[in-house]
Amino acid sequence: MYEYEIRESRYGLHTSFLLSDNSPMVTGLTEEAVRLVTDTIHIPVLKGEFDGWTSIMGKAVVDGKL
């Protein structure tokens, strides 16, 4: 029911679109980021299953120089 495809715009952005009505859902810089947010946040919100948690336990890495 919530099948989607990701299309790249001429500006290099990626957007996920629902196949049922062609409505745009998530836009991002990379296809991987759009797929992650669409699968883990946007579609669960549409289904009413999202609990608000997006973090992963044990994943406390700070990249870069402080």
pLDDT digits over 1-56, tens only? 799 999 999 999 999 999 999 999 999 999 999 999 999 999 998 998 888 876 66
Check pLDDT > 80 for residue 64: no
56 located within any domain: no
Determine the pLDDT at residue 65.
Answer: 67
State CA 44 to chain mean position distance: 11
Measured between alpha carbons, how far apart are the two ends of the chain, in Å? 45
Determine the pLDDT at residue 21.
Answer: 94
Question: Whole-model pTM?
Answer: 0.74
60 located within any domain: no
Count up the domains in the chain and report the number: 1
Check pLDDT > 70 for residue 57: no
E strand segments, the chain:
4-8, 14-18, 24-28
What range defines the domain where residue 19 resides?
Answer: 4-47
8 located within any domain: yes
